[in-house]
Amino acid sequence: MTDQILIQKLHVMAHIGVTAQERKTEQPLHISVALDVVLDDDELVDRDHIESTVNYSTVAKAILARFEGVEYRLIETAAVHVARVCLEWSEVTEVDVTVEKPRALASADCAAVRIRRGR
């Protein structure tokens, strides 16, 4: 059976944009991931320990680290990189990634992309 671990609207500051001018200043992104994971129910019940699951805090830190010292032109590219980070955990079989760029459009809350990747 597959379960999901969710991280919703992780706040990231990124150098992102089509033009060099746009990439000069960090801009906010909101990243959400849904990790499809295979967990051992017996181990979860018996141990009730963080080592029995995928630690969402560790995943969040790895996602944030992926934006340090890097520039992206497209939110689609950023989403693929986030998916690859999430798939580094062997328990994760598939991942849905949503990247929202709040200041992308004057007349909308945000522009966003959602991708799904698996092994």
Query: Can you give the CATH number for the domain in which 55 is found?
Result: 3.30.1130.10
4-28 average pLDDT score: 97
35-41 average pLDDT score: 93
Cα separation of 5 and 36, whole Å? 7
User: Whole-model pTM?
Assistant: 0.94
pLDDT higher than 90, residue 43: no
List pLDDT tens digits, range 57-108.
999 999 999 999 999 999 999 999 999 999 999 999 999 999 999 989 999 9
Which distant-in-sequence residues (6+ apart) come within 8 Å of 57 by Cβ? none
Task: Name the residue range of residue 109's domain.
Answer: 3-118
Instruction: Using pLDDT thresholds of 50, 70 and 90, give the confidence band for residue 45.
Output: confident
What's the pLDDT score for residue 84? Answer: 98
106-113 average pLDDT score: 97
Instruction: Using pLDDT thresholds of 50, 70 and 90, give the confidence band for residue 56.
Output: very high
Count structural domains, the chain.
1
